[in-house]
């Protein structure tokens, strides 16, 4: 009788564990997830050259890969409404990462292992060249489990159809492996070790410790959880969309995900569910121990290095074997209200694909828009060797300022008037919030005013400010100030900021901004610091948008060279 009662208690505990409520990373609006837009007309904030479908909600880029001459992008998509829900893996293809053709969804709920949702995951190219996808499914018990999908016809370069083997799921939480069934998702691209076994990471947490769980397999079908995570960090919460890949310490070329050895470092990135932003570390992968040790050059927590200090989340990289580069893609969600999203009938866009590599210092990564984007550059306007006095604003005419690409190199004539940085100011976002574009300084603020109205009542300022830190060391902060971006009131106008690791020995600072109606995607110092903003001006739209260069510091600065282009319209899922 005692054994029977013990068994009954075990079954009850197991049942409670299995049906534990799932915690999604997005707000759930049940009454809105199937609401279609009232109109399919082009909305004034839709992008011209960034990736988005014609309507409805999108979020995470999934499983990007290059196969038989075609780039593939899968992404989380709601086919029925402009809020998160009904998620499938939508699928688009391209030959240049700029023009995209939409295909039928590749993965959608079909079986008990994913009937309640097909969430994020990654693609891996197996030896011989066949791609496979591992993704998170929500099963009948509302557990998060990891599944596999394979192409039905590998000879099809478009990979139109995918099938799910009967042995799914590959990985599942149980009472024995102590995995939280609501915090077990987003598998990475797999890599192969010197022993021939495959490894893959799955994001998770224990308490408030974020972690990358490690699984191994000999045949890519049967997976065994390792005793210890590849890496974890206390106080970081759930690690969504982890990414793990090698980078060369010698040059800027990308590396296949399975590469390791001499002159190779590794990058581990986590998307923090609690913070809704990402951080990464650069370190060493010890393959014999299957552990990752970050270098001590940056913090291994939410204060650490970020790909992007603005609206950029759930990012994913892949190795582009066609051009030997690693490409980074990210999701930029909206900053307006849910009701506005439902009214306009869409929400979410993706960043321009970025090439990513290790800075020669070894301390951080560098990012730059893929070269293919330059094919969209239309009419051009240039400024050279122009002095910008204190308090000056110079307009950049003759381009479409609502859909543009602008590159400018500033010449800092003198750093003598740089402000002293208070020792308690260690958060760049706080610095930018306190010292916005309208707050006069010594060296800076100087930069560009984008999506600005003629009277500058509306403007988004992207700028630098130089400080004197401890030991008179120069400290450069890059800011994206949205405080005046729109006259609308139901919009998030958070100001973003990040430090820029430059020595300023040559007195030069560069800035590039991709402007696309409701996007300002900016790259400072050649891509050392990146900030993306979503903005929604009321008057500075279309032909009424303006672009200016400004200097609000007491020291004059120079424009060594400025080039601005109207960006043409590619074909994006049209």
Q: What is the residue-wise DSSP string for 148-199? A: EEEES-TT-TT---EE--TT--SB---TTTT--TTSEE-----EE-TTS-EE
Q: How many CB atoms lie within 10 A of CB 61?
A: 25
Range 67-77 burial, b when 16+ CB lie within 10 A, else e: beebbbbbbbb
Give the residue range(s) of CATH 2.60.120.560 domains in the chain: 378-567
The CA–CA distances, whole Å, from 125 to 67, 92, 551 equal: 9, 18, 49
- The predicted pLDDT at position 50 comes to 98
Give the alpha-carbon dihedral of 351, 353, 354, 356, to 10 degrees.
Answer: 120
Q: Which CATH class is domain 378-567?
A: mainly beta
8 A C-beta contact, residue 344 and residue 45: yes
Q: What is the residue-wise DSSP string for 309-336? A: SSS-EEEEEEEETTTTEEEEEEEE--SS
CA distance linking residue 123 with residue 253, whole number of Å: 20
CA distance linking residue 269 with residue 315, whole number of Å: 9
CA distance linking residue 103 with residue 338, whole number of Å: 27
CATH of domain 2-32+60-369: 2.115.10.20
Give the alpha-carbon dihedral of 354, 360, 362, 365, to 10 degrees.
Answer: -10
Phi, psi of 151 (to 5 degrees): -70, 135
Phi, psi of 342 (to 5 degrees): -65, -40
Token pair, residue 387, equals 């002095």
- The predicted pLDDT at position 31 comes to 76
CA within 13 Å, CB half, 247 = 30
Per-residue pLDDT tens listing for the chain (574 residues): 344 344 333 333 333 333 333 445 678 888 788 877 665 444 789 999 999 999 999 999 999 999 999 999 999 999 999 999 999 999 999 999 999 999 999 999 999 999 999 999 999 999 999 999 999 999 999 999 999 999 999 999 999 999 999 999 999 998 788 899 999 999 999 999 999 999 999 999 999 999 999 999 999 999 999 999 999 999 999 999 999 999 999 999 999 999 999 999 999 999 999 999 999 999 999 999 999 999 999 999 999 999 999 999 999 999 999 999 999 999 999 999 998 999 899 999 999 999 999 999 999 999 999 999 999 999 999 999 999 999 999 999 999 999 999 999 999 999 999 999 988 889 999 999 999 999 999 999 999 999 999 999 999 999 999 999 888 899 999 999 999 999 999 999 999 999 999 999 999 999 999 999 999 999 999 999 999 999 999 999 999 999 999 999 999 999 999 999 999 999 998 6
Cβ contacts of 476 within 8 Å, gap of 6 or more:
464, 465, 466, 467, 499, 500, 502, 504, 509, 525
8 A C-beta contact, residue 448 and residue 460: no
- The predicted pLDDT at position 39 comes to 56
3-state secondary structure of 6: helix
Token pair, residue 310, equals 């603005």
- The predicted pLDDT at position 16 comes to 32
- The predicted pLDDT at position 176 comes to 81
Strand partners, 294: 283
Q: What helix, strand, coil percent values describe the chain, rounded to 5?
A: 5, 45, 50
Is 219 part of the annotated catalytic residue set? Answer: no
- Catalytically annotated residue among 60, 186, 243, 405: 60
CA distance linking residue 278 with residue 311, whole number of Å: 10
8 A C-beta contact, residue 379 and residue 399: yes
8 A C-beta contact, residue 437 and residue 516: no
Q: Say what the pTM is.
A: 0.94
- The predicted pLDDT at position 34 comes to 82
- The predicted pLDDT at position 326 comes to 98
Give the residue range(s) of CATH 2.115.10.20 domains in the chain: 2-32+60-369
């Amino acid at each position: 009788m005692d054994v029977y009662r013990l068994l009954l208690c075990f079954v009850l505990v197991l049942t409670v564990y299995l049906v534990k409520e799932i915690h999604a990373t997005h707000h759930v609006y049940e009454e809105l997830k199937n609401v279609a837009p009232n109109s399919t007309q082009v909305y004034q904030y839709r992008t011209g050259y960034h990736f988005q479908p014609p309507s409805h909600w999108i979020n995470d880029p999934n499983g990007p890969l290059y196969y038989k001459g075609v780039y593939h992008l899968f992404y989380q998509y709601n086919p029925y409404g402009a809020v998160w829900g009904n998620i499938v893996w939508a699928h688009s293809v391209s030959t240049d990462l700029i023009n995209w053709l939409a295909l039928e969804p590749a993965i959608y709920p079909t079986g008990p292992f994913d009937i309640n949702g097909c969430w994020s995951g990654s693609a891996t190219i197996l030896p011989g060249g066949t791609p496979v996808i591992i993704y998170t499914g929500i099963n009948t018990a509302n557990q998060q489990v990891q599944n596999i999908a394979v192409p039905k016809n590998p000879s099809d370069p478009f990979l139109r159809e995918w099938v799910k083997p009967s042995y799914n799921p590959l990985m599942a939480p149980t009472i024995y492996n102590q995995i939280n069934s609501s915090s077990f998702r987003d598998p990475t691209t797999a890599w192969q070790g010197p022993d021939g076994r495959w490894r893959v990471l799955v994001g998770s947490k224990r308490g408030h410790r974020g972690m990358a769980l490690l699984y191994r397999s000999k045949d890519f079908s049967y997976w065994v959880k390792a005793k210890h995570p590849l890496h974890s960090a206390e106080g970081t919460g759930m690690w969504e969309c982890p990414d793990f890949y090698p980078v060369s310490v010698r040059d800027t070329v990308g590396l296949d995900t399975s590469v390791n050895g001499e002159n190779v470092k590794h990058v581990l990135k986590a998307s923090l569910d609690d913070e809704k932003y990402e951080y990464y570390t650069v370190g060493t992968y010890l393959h014999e121990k299957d552990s990752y040790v970050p270098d001590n050059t940056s913090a291994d927590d939410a204060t650490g290095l970020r790909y992007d200090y603005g609206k950029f989340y759930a990012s994913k990289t892949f190795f582009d074997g066609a051009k030997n580069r690693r490409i980074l893609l990210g999701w930029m969600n909206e900053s307006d209200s849910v009701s506005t999203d439902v009214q306009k009938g869409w929400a979410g866009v993706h960043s321009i694909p970025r090439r990513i590599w290790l800075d020669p210092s070894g301390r951080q990564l560098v990012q730059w828009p893929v070269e293919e984007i330059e094919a969209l550059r239309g009419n051009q306007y240039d400024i050279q060797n122009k002095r910008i006095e204190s308090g000056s604003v110079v307009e950049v005419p003759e381009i479409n300022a609502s859909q543009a690409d602008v590159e400018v190199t500033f010449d800092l004539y003198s750093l003598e008037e740089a402000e002293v940085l208070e020792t308690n100011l260690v958060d760049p976002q706080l610095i930018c919030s306190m010292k916005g574009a309208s707050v006069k300084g010594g060296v800076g603020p100087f930069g560009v005013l984008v999506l600005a109205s003629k009277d500058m009542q509306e403007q988004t300022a992207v700028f630098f400010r130089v400080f004197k830190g401890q030991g008179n060391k120069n400290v450069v902060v890059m800011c994206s100030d949205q405080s005046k971006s729109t006259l609308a009131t139901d919009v998030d106008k958070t100001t973003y900021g990040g430090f820029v690791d430059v020595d300023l020995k040559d007195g030069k600072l560069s800035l590039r901004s991709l402007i696309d109606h409701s996007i300002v995607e900016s790259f400072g110092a050649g891509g050392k610091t990146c900030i993306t903003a979503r903005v929604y001006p009321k008057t500075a739209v279309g032909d009424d948008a303006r672009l200016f260069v400004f200097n609000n510091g007491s020291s004059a600065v120079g424009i060594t060279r400025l080039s601005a282009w109207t960006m043409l319209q590619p074909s994006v899922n049209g």
